[in-house]
Chain A
Amino acid sequence: MRDKALRVLYGLLIAATLVYVALPSFVVVITAFSDKALLMFPPSGFSLKWFERAITYEDFRKGLANGLIVTAWASGIALVCGTLAAFAIERFEFSGKRVLESVLLSPLVIPHFTLGVAMLILASEFNIARTFSLVVVCHVILVLPFVMRAVYVSLKNIDPALERAAASLGASPLTVFLRIDLPLLAPGLAGGWLFAAILSFNEFTATLFVTGQRTQTLPVAMYTYVREYADPTMAALSSMLIAATVLFLVAANRWLGLERILSIEHAR
């Protein structure tokens, strides 16, 4: 009797959590189909015109393209740098190792706002134009810790005896890295890259400071839009982003195994 009551209570708690997490997305998606130029819930009629506007709105198109460019570069560079840094920190002893680690991980605790302002000040001080390079550099700094953490955890899960075994069989250190470490790191690398890409694509606070009219990414373009209009276009755009993310994650899960990427599965 008590067990049953507990189970019901437990079920309710889970349901409440789900509603709490999913409700905002739900409201946004419903609102997107509104027929009026007002953000209202529930909407008074059905239409797809806000989707049409979101798709055809020039700033969004450019923002999406810019965002994808920045994300591709930033997550790619962070993946390479983060992997090398994590490898050095995990496998070698050198002076200043702890300092290097702290500095590289510091963006986790420094507000993005601070970084954005700092980049802006530096850029104007040295007369650097607000180009893509500036945005990419800023994003690399922001997402590097996530890549490093992911690779670091995967590296820790690699048994050093595997490297030794390969060495005893005649593999040079470079071969060991390419043939043993890299394949075993692949899930960690994919996970790190996934986090970095999602983070970079959605980053707004710091990006706002370092982008110009020509380089603004999608979140910045959305912000600019909201300051001028209050119609359901934003809801429509958000709905599409939600759908895209879901598709992306389903695909990642299907082909790469999400639990492997997120390192939920046991190492062995």
Chain B
Amino acid sequence: MGETFSVSVEGVLKSFDGTPAVNDVSLKVRKGEFLTLLGPSGCGKTTLLNLIAGFLQPERGEIFIENELVTHTPPYLRSIGMVFQNYALFPHMTVAQNVAFGLKMRKVPAPKIAKRVADALEMVRLPHLGARTPRQLSGGQQQRVALARALVINPKVVLLDEPFSAIDKNLRAEMQVELKQIQKRVGITTLFVTHDQSEALSLSDRIAVMSHGRIEQLSEPAQLYRNPATSFVASFIGDINKLPCRLVSVSDAEAAFEFGGIQARLAASHAEGFSPGSEAVLYVRPEELTLLDAGDPAANFGAATVDTHVYQGTHVDVYVRYDDGRVLRARHPGFEAIERFPAGGRVGVSANLERAFLFPAS
């Protein structure tokens, strides 16, 4: 049988009114792993989560939880913990009763329930709030209670559906760190759904980027950023410049491309599958573009005019306009770039094309 996966999704299809929301998706979640389903709204990430939870049934494909086939098992027999976007705490029960609910369903004896509820509330640092009702708690506290309620039953996997989207920004970072700490300490397999890429990048062991019901790429956060597999991933993760261009020549060593009268070269390994004359889009991140004084021979990416600066604290984004009108964004650390490259001045542009990605024009 090989490795036991906490969750295995195999060729799952689910459509609503004939439109596939999850389209032939396969996914294996390792034990103890923090895996994030990341994508824009409508990409199918929540549908996939609901399929795994058992709130929806797929038309095709199978779902396993720890090697057990659960495709048509109702949610209450699946041994999953779930944290919802709006927490979904039971308003007619106290915090302690909320946390105890899953244990009661499992017919755990009362003294043991009390002990485990106390431990769970201790874990989320709310040991003194057991007697309160959910209404009396702040958003962050409700969030923690929801987490305690999901974890206290020792589920095989915990599913989190955009759990931080209703929490204000300052508290969110704090909650993220806390979630990560608890997850590592408990060692529980976690499947996390979000549309927030920075949240995904900071929390996850692996990220599955989804678009139109499919997984575009499944890999570690750094890989997504440095080696996007598709143009969708390249533009969804991080900031990036998109530069429509045309291949001029392709040799064994390098490929030359042209845009707006400017020619540049990149390693042939970056242009596999392209032939001369084909239309393409070059994706290059702002931090891989460097501005130089006009006339600097190191400028491998032509000359342009400075348009505007956007100061971001740790860095400055400088927008430069080429003579044909296209605008690129270059990122310089610090703030010196504002003085060195005043608006309206000519600059040379240098691009680190080792870190650029070429995708076919769609």
- Contact indicator A184/B91 (Cβ below 8 Å): yes
B1 part of interface (Cβ distance < 8 Å)? no
Task: Give Cα A173 to B76, complex, Å.
Answer: 9
B328 part of interface (Cβ distance < 8 Å)? no
A18 part of interface (Cβ distance < 8 Å)? no
Main secondary structure of the interface of A (DSSP, over half): helix
Q: Which residues of A contact B54 (CB under 8 A)?
A: 167
- From A167, A171, A179, A184, B55 is in contact (CB under 8 Å) with A167
- From B75, B80, B86, A159 is in contact (CB under 8 Å) with B86
Q: Please name the residue on chain B nearest to A159 by beta carbon.
A: B88
Task: Give Cα A258 to B106, complex, Å.
Answer: 37
Q: Which residues of B contact A111 (CB under 8 A)?
A: none
Q: Please name the residue on chain A nearest to B53 by beta carbon.
A: A168
Given A161-B84, A175-B105, verify A167-B90 contact (CB < 8 Å): no
- Contact indicator A168/B92 (Cβ below 8 Å): no
Q: Nearest Cβ in chain A — how far from B159, in angstroms?
A: 8
A64 part of interface (Cβ distance < 8 Å)? no
Interface residues on A, range: 10 to 19
Give a binary string over B3-28; 1 marks a CB under 8 Å from any A CB, 0 the rest.
00000000000000000000000000
Given A165-B90, A183-B92, A184-B92, verify A170-B102 contact (CB < 8 Å): yes
- From B75, B77, B92, A164 is in contact (CB under 8 Å) with B75
Q: Nearest Cβ in chain B — how far from A186, in angstroms?
A: 8
Given A164-B55, A164-B75, A164-B82, verify A169-B153 contact (CB < 8 Å): yes
Q: Which residues of A contact B39 (CB under 8 A)?
A: none
Most interface-central of B75, B80, B89, B153 (chain A CB within 10 A): B75
Q: Please name the residue on chain B nearest to A184 by beta carbon.
A: B92
- Contact indicator A170/B84 (Cβ below 8 Å): no
- Contact indicator B80/A168 (Cβ below 8 Å): yes
Task: Give Cα A170 to B76, complex, Å.
Answer: 4
Q: Which residues of B contact A164 (CB under 8 A)?
A: 53, 55, 75, 82, 84, 88
- Contact indicator B105/A162 (Cβ below 8 Å): no
- Contact indicator B92/A171 (Cβ below 8 Å): no
A residues 69-113 touching B (CB-CB < 8 Å): none
Q: Which residues of A contact B76 (CB under 8 A)?
A: 167-173
B221 part of interface (Cβ distance < 8 Å)? no
Q: Which residues of B contact A173 (CB under 8 A)?
A: 74, 76
Task: Give Cα A104 to B210, complex, Å.
Answer: 45
B335 part of interface (Cβ distance < 8 Å)? no
Task: Give Cα A144 to B151, complex, Å.
Answer: 43
- Contact indicator A166/B90 (Cβ below 8 Å): yes
- Contact indicator B88/A180 (Cβ below 8 Å): no
B45 part of interface (Cβ distance < 8 Å)? no
Given A172-B76, A184-B92, verify A166-B82 contact (CB < 8 Å): no
Q: Which residues of B contact A172 (CB under 8 A)?
A: 74, 76
Q: Nearest Cβ in chain B — how far from A254, in angstroms?
A: 20
- Contact indicator A180/B90 (Cβ below 8 Å): yes
Given A167-B55, A168-B53, A183-B92, verify A161-B101 contact (CB < 8 Å): no
B residues 76-111 touching A (CB-CB < 8 Å): 76-78, 80-82, 84-86, 88-92, 101-102, 105-106
Q: Which residues of B contact A183 (CB under 8 A)?
A: 92
Q: Please name the residue on chain B nearest to A183 by beta carbon.
A: B92
- Contact indicator A170/B153 (Cβ below 8 Å): yes
Q: Nearest Cβ in chain A — how far from B191, in angstroms?
A: 13
Task: Give Cα A170 to B55, complex, Å.
Answer: 13
Task: Give Cα A37 to B66, complex, Å.
Answer: 87
Given A164-B55, A164-B75, A165-B82, verify A170-B88 contact (CB < 8 Å): no
Task: Give Cα A13 to B78, complex, Å.
Answer: 62
Q: Which residues of B contact A159 (CB under 8 A)?
A: 86, 88
- Contact indicator A165/B84 (Cβ below 8 Å): yes
Chain A to chain B: the 7 pairs with minimum beta-carbon distance, closest first: A170-B105, A169-B102, A161-B88, A168-B82, A165-B88, A167-B75, A161-B84
Sample (19) of A-B pairs whose CB atoms are under 8 Å apart? A159-B88, A161-B84, A162-B88, A162-B90, A164-B55, A164-B75, A165-B84, A165-B90, A165-B149, A166-B101, A167-B55, A167-B74, A168-B76, A169-B76, A169-B81, A169-B149, A170-B153, A171-B76, A179-B101
Report which B residues bind A (CB closer than 8 A): 53-55, 74-78, 80-82, 84-86, 88-92, 101-102, 105-106, 149-150, 153, 159
